[in-house]
A and B are shown apart, each in its own frame.
Chain A
Amino acid sequence: MSLRAYLAAFAAAILFPVAVFAAIVGYFIVEQHRETIRRGAHDRVLAVSTAIDIELLGSIDALRALAAAPSLARGDVRYFRRVASVLLADHPDWININLALPDGQQLMNLSVPEGRPLPNIGELDGSFARLRETGQPGISDLAVGPVLKRWSLAVRVPVWERGTLKYVLSAGLNLDAIKRVIDAQQLPHGWVGVVIERQGRIVARSLRSEESVGKLASASLREGVARAPTGWFRGGTIEGTEVYTPYRRSEVTGWAFAMGIPVEVVDAAAWRVAALLALGLAAAVALALVLARKVGRSISGPIRALAGATEAIGRGERVTIPEAGRVAELRSLESALRGAVKAQDALTRAEEQTRAIVNHVLDGIITIDERGTVQSFNPGAEKLFGFQAAEVIAQNVKMLMPEPYRSGHDGYIGNYLHTGQAKIIGIGREVEGRRKDGSTFPMDLAVSEFRIGARRFFTGIVRDITERKRAEEELRASEERLRMALTAGRMGNWEWDVRTNAVSWSPDLEAIHGLAPGTFAGTFEAYKKDIHPEDWEHVQRAIAESLERGEHHMEYRIVLPDGEVRWVEGRGKVFLDASGAPMRVVGVCTDVTERKLAEEALRKSDRAKDEFLATLSHELRNPLAALTSAAHVLKVSDPSRPPAMEARMVVERQTKHMARLVGDLLDISRITFGKLALDREPLELGDAVARVVEMWRASGRFERHDVSLEVAPVWVDADPARVEQITANLLDNAVKFTPAGKAVRLSVARENSDAVLRVSDDGAGLTAEAAESVFDLFVSGDQSAGLGVGLALVKRLAELQGGSTSVASAGPGRGATFEVRLPAAQAPAPRERRERVGPAGTRSVLIVEDNEDARQMLEAVLALEGHEVRAASDGKTGLALAGSARPEVALIDIRLPDMDGYELARRLRAACDGARIGLVALTGFGGAQDEQRALDAGFDAHLVKPVSPERLKQVIATLA
C-alpha cells in the first residue's frame, strides 16, 4: 500500500465522522430553522387572533353600551332606533344594527326602513339559541341574512329587564374590518392569512377575499381547528398551494386564524443550510485528497532519493546526498546521511593517512599472528632490519631477533596466550633487534594486540634508539663530569619554579647546606631558613632584582644544621615564559667559605702589616731616642760622674731592647720561612726562667712592679736561648701591660707530662675576642706599645719545641695569665750537664769591623772584660794585625770594604798556618743559611749583630 493510499485512507477516516456529524448538524439546523419560522408564525397568528378578538369584543362592548340605552328600557323602539342610528354612523366597522326579541323576531333593523315588517332571524344560525342558553353576548355564524342578502355576521348582546331576557341587540359587522386586521400584518408574499368562524366558513382572507368569504375552509384546516385550539400542520390552500399552516382558535369567539406559509418558503432556507454543509464537506474531502496526494508526493519522493543514496553509501560509492525538501524529519535524515558521508570520507582519508604513515614512518611496524608469523612489514621496518617485506612475511618474526630473544620468543607468546600476563604488550620496553647482516641494534618495542574474529594479532612498533642511547650515555657522562666538577668545586645547582615556589637542589647543594641527599624540603621557605638572618634581606633584594634584571650574583652566609656558618656565592639566571613573566630561576651555589676566610685573613694581615710598620717605626724610635740622649750625655760629661754612668746603663738597656726587638723580628722571619734552627738540649726550665728573672731584676726593669717567682725543677728538651726568649717576651708583655705597683707572678711547675711556665699579672686583661688573637703576629694589645711580635714568637717557639701556649683572663682590667707548656723530659745524668759558662780568662782578640761605632763599642766591651784587643777597619789591616799579633780570637764583620768576611776568614786560617785561632763571624744576617755559610768558610761561631756583651763573653770563653 503506497504512502498516498495511506494518506487518503487517513483523510477518509478523519472525514467520515466529520460528514456524519455535519449531516446531524445540518438536520438540526434545518429543524431549528423550521422551528424558528414556526414560532414566528405562531406569534403572528396569536397576535392576529388577539387583534380579531379585540375587534369583536370592542364591538360587543359598544353594543352593550347601546343595550343600556334608557329608550330601550322604556321600550321606546322608535327613539332607540334614532340612538342606534347615531351610534352606527359613528361605528364604521358596523354595517347594521337590529333589535330582536329573544326568539329572533326583529323589532327594529336600521337597514329596513321603519314600519316595514321584519323577518325572524332566530333560526338563521344557532346564535340566538346559544344566547338564550348562556345569557352571554356572542357572535353569530356567517350566514346570508334575509335583509342584506349576503354573507354577514353579527355580534349579539342580551338586553335584560329585571332578570328576564327582553331583547337581543345585534350589530352587523363589516367583514372588511376583519380583513383590515389581517392586512395590517402585511404578510410576506406568498403567505396567506385566513379567519374562519365557528362553522369553518371563511370570514376574511388575505388573498382573494371576495371569492372566499362564506366558503368553507380547507378540510385539513377545519379538522385541525376542531382538534386543537392551536396547531401546525402541512396542507394545501384552497388554491392548491402546499403550505405549512399555523393556526389559533379563540376561546372567546370560537373563531380561528390560520396562516398559510408556502412549504418552499420554510424548507428553502433549511435546504440552503443543508446544501452549504454538503458543499463544505465535499470541499473538505476534495482538499484532503489533494493534500494527501501532494504531501505523499513531497515525502515519498525525497525518501526514495535518500533511500537510493543510502544504498549507494552501503555499496561504498561516493554519492551526493539529494535535497530532502521541507520536511524537518527528512532534513534530519538528509543531514544524518551527509554526516555519514562525511564520516565515511574521514574514514577513507584516515585509512589513507594510516597507510601513508605506515608506509613512510621511520619506525618499523610489524604485524604477527599468534604463532609469530609475520603478516605485514612496513618500509620503515625494511630499512631498520635490512630485509625486504617479501623476505619476512609468512616467516617467523624470530628471524629479526638476536639471542636470547630469539629462542625465548615462542615462549613469550605462548606464555602470554596461556596466562594473559603481559610482559611487553601495552608496556613497551627496550630490546635488541637483528639486521639481515646479523648486526644488532638497541630498539624500543611497543606491542599492541588486536583481534579479527577469533584470531589474535600483535602489532609491534620498533624504533632504532642507537642514537638516543648514545646521547643518553653522553648525557650521563656529562652529568657525571658536572657532578664531579660541582663536588670538587664545592658547587651545587638549584632550580626555583617561581610559579609553584618549588625549589629543587642537587645533592651537592644539599651537601653544602649540610643536608643528606634528598632531604631538602624543596620550598623557597626551606631555603630561606638556612640563610644567615643578617644576610637574608640582602639575598632577598638580590633575588627580587634578578627577577627584573634576569640574573643575580651574590655572596651570603648560611647556617648549617650543626650551627656552622659558611659563605656561599650564588649565581642565578632567570628564565621567562612566553608572556615575559619569570618562570624559573636556575643557579649555581659555590661554597666560598675558605676563600672568604682567606680574604678576611688577608685583609686582617694586611691591616696588621700596616699597623706593624707604623708600630715598628715607633718601637725603633723609642730606644733610639733614649740612645741619642745617652750618647749626648756621654759625649759631653765626665765618664766617671753619675750622668755618664746612668747614660751607659741606658745604652745597655736600650741596645738590649733593640737587639731583642730585631732578634724577635728575625726569628719570626726564620720561623715563617722554616729556617729557625733549634739547638735543643736537656734544660732545667725553672733554672732557666730564674736566670732571666734575675737578669731583668739586675737591670732594673722590675723596679716599678712586684715580681714574684715560684719554681719547681722540671726538665725539658729545649733550646736554652729560645726558652730565655720565651720567658723574656712573656715578662716584657706582663710588665708592659701591668700598671706600676701591681704584681707579676711567674711559676714553673710540672703538670702530668708537661712542664708549665705561667706568667700572671694584675694588668690590663683581655676580652675573650682579644684572647683569641693575642698570639697572632702583628697583633698588639696597645697600638702604641708594641710590635705584636713578642707573644707570636712565644707561641711559635713553644710549638717548635713540641709545646703549646694559652691565655686566660677574667676580662679587661682583671689581669691575665699566659701559659706555656712544653713536654717534660727526663732529667739527664749529672755528667751530661754542660758547663754553660767557661772559665774566665783574658784573650788576645782581633776585631775587624768597618763601622767605627760598632768597632769602638766592641773594643770597649772586650777591654772591660780584660781582653787584649786589637782592631782593624778593613780586611787588609786585619790580616796584617793578625800576622803581627797572633790573636787567639778574631771577630770579623762579614761586610768589609775590601773583601768579605768569608774571604778574610779563609786567609786568616791560611796565614795562621795551623795555629789555633777562634774565628767569630759578626753579621746582620741571622739566617741559618748565613750561619752555614760562615761555618763553611771556616768560622767557629756566627754572631748576629747587635751582640750582647754576655753572648760575646760566652763565645770567647767557649772558643778558648
Chain B
Amino acid sequence: MIILAEDDADQRRALKSALEVSGYSVREAANGRQALALQRERPARFLITDLFMPEADGMEAIEVFHREFPATRIIAVSGGGERARRDYLADATLIGVDATFRKPVEIEELLRTLRAL
C-alpha cells in the first residue's frame, strides 16, 4: 500500500499507473495535507512524496509522518530545480527519509527500492 503525494496530476497519475501495473496499491494525494488525511484514515506502508507542493509542504508531511507513523517508509522525490538553491534532498535525508529520488524517477529503480524496504 502506497500513498503518493504529488501536486502535478499527470505525474501523479502516470506514476500511480506505473506502480499499479507493477502490483502496488496506490492512493493519490495532491498535497501533504491530503496524504496525511489518507494515512490517518488507513495507514499505508509507504509514502512517496514530492518535496515541493502547494498547501502542506512535503517536508512538513514527512515530519508528521515520522512522528505519528514511524513504521511507514518514506521516499522523497524532488523536482530537481534546486541547482541555485539548497539541496533539499540532502535535508530530507537528514530528517530521516528512507530513500530519495530526483525527477524523472527511474521506475525500475523505484520498484527495487520499494522491494528493498
Contact of B21 among A621, A625, A643, A654 (CB under 8 A): A643
Q: A626 and B81: CB pair below 8 A?
A: no
Q: A614 and B85: CB pair below 8 A?
A: yes
Binary CB contact string for chain B from 98 to 117 against chain A (1 if under 8 A, 0 otherwise): 00001111111000000000
List the 7 closest pairs (A to B, CB-CB), nearest first: A618-B81, A629-B14, A624-B104, A621-B103, A632-B107, A625-B103, A628-B104
Q: A629 and B107: CB pair below 8 A?
A: yes
Q: Which residues of B contact A628 (CB under 8 A)?
A: 14, 104-107
> How distant is A604 from chain B, measured CB to nearest CB, in Å?
15
Q: Which residue of A lies closest to B30 (CB)?
A: A740
**Once bound together, how far apart are the Cα atoms of A157 and B39, in whole Å?**
193
Say yes or no for A637: interface residue by CB 8 A criterion: yes
Q: Which residues of A contact B18 (CB under 8 A)?
A: 629-630, 632-633
B residues with CB within 8 A of A: 8, 10-11, 13-15, 17-18, 20-22, 52, 77, 79-85, 102-108
Q: A637 and B83: CB pair below 8 A?
A: no
| A interface residues, tally (CB under 8 Å) | 30
Q: B105 and A613: CB pair below 8 A?
A: no
**Once bound together, how far apart are the Cα atoms of A623 and B77, in whole Å?**
14
Q: Which residue of A lies closest to B15 (CB)?
A: A629
> Known contacts being A628-B105, A632-B107, A784-B52, is A617 close to B14, with CB within 8 Å?
no
Q: Which residue of B lies closest to A654 (CB)?
A: B10
**Once bound together, how far apart are the Cα atoms of A596 and B52, in whole Å?**
37
Q: B14 and A618: CB pair below 8 A?
A: no
**Once bound together, how far apart are the Cα atoms of A882 and B25, in whole Å?**
50
Q: Which residues of B contact A617 (CB under 8 A)?
A: 80-81, 83
Q: A610 and B10: CB pair below 8 A?
A: no
Contact of A618 among B10, B77, B80 (CB under 8 A): B80
Q: B52 and A621: CB pair below 8 A?
A: no
Say yes or no for A650: interface residue by CB 8 A criterion: yes
> Known contacts being A621-B103, A625-B104, is A613 close to B14, with CB within 8 Å?
no
A residues with CB within 8 A of B: 610-611, 613-619, 621-630, 632-633, 636-637, 643, 646-647, 650, 653-654, 784
Q: A643 and B20: CB pair below 8 A?
A: yes
Q: Which residue of B lies closest to A618 (CB)?
A: B81
Q: A650 and B14: CB pair below 8 A?
A: yes
Q: Which residues of B contact A650 (CB under 8 A)?
A: 10, 13-14
> How distant is A153 from chain B, measured CB to nearest CB, in Å?
177
Q: Which residues of A contact B20 (CB under 8 A)?
A: 643
Q: Which residue of B lies closest to A633 (CB)?
A: B17
> How distant is B90 from chain A, measured CB to nearest CB, in Å?
16
Q: Which residues of B contact A784 (CB under 8 A)?
A: 52, 79, 81
Q: Which residues of B contact A643 (CB under 8 A)?
A: 17, 20-21
Contact of A614 among B10, B81, B107 (CB under 8 A): B81
Q: Which residues of A contact B81 (CB under 8 A)?
A: 614-619, 621, 784
> How distant is A948 from chain B, measured CB to nearest CB, in Å?
17
> Known contacts being A610-B84, A614-B85, is A622 close to B79, with CB within 8 Å?
yes
Give the most central of B20, B105, B108: most A CB within 10 Å: B105
Q: Which residues of A contact B85 (CB under 8 A)?
A: 614
Q: Which residues of B contact A626 (CB under 8 A)?
A: 8, 10-11, 13-15
Q: A637 and B79: CB pair below 8 A?
A: no
Contact of A637 among B13, B21, B84, B102 (CB under 8 A): B21
> How distant is A633 from chain B, measured CB to nearest CB, in Å?
4
Q: B10 and A613: CB pair below 8 A?
A: no
Q: Which residue of A lies closest to B6 (CB)?
A: A625
> How distant is B29 from chain A, measured CB to nearest CB, in Å?
14
Q: Which residues of B contact A654 (CB under 8 A)?
A: 10
Q: A613 and B107: CB pair below 8 A?
A: no
Q: Which residue of B lies closest to A785 (CB)?
A: B54
**Once bound together, how far apart are the Cα atoms of A784 and B11, in whole Å?**
15
**Once bound together, how far apart are the Cα atoms of A646 and B82, in whole Å?**
30
> How distant is B115 from chain A, measured CB to nearest CB, in Å?
15
Q: Which residues of A contact B84 (CB under 8 A)?
A: 610-611, 613-614
What are 6 pairs between A and B in contact, CB < 8 Å?
Answer: A621-B102, A622-B11, A624-B104, A626-B11, A632-B18, A643-B21
Q: B103 and A647: CB pair below 8 A?
A: no
**Once bound together, how far apart are the Cα atoms of A29 and B77, in whole Å?**
156
Q: Which residue of B lies closest to A630 (CB)?
A: B14
Contact of A630 among B8, B17, B22, B106 (CB under 8 A): B17
Contact of A621 among B14, B22, B104, B107 (CB under 8 A): B104
Give the most central of A628, A646, A647: most B CB within 10 Å: A628
Contact of A622 among B8, B83, B108 (CB under 8 A): B8
Q: Which residues of B contact A633 (CB under 8 A)?
A: 14, 17-18, 21
Q: B22 and A614: CB pair below 8 A?
A: no
**Once bound together, how far apart are the Cα atoms of A619 and B10, in whole Å?**
13
Q: Which residue of B lies closest to A653 (CB)?
A: B10
Q: A629 and B80: CB pair below 8 A?
A: no
Contacts A618-B81, A633-B21, A650-B10 aside, 16 further interface pairs with beta carbons under 8 A come to: A614-B84, A614-B85, A617-B80, A619-B81, A622-B11, A624-B103, A624-B104, A625-B103, A626-B8, A629-B15, A630-B14, A630-B17, A632-B108, A637-B17, A637-B21, A643-B17
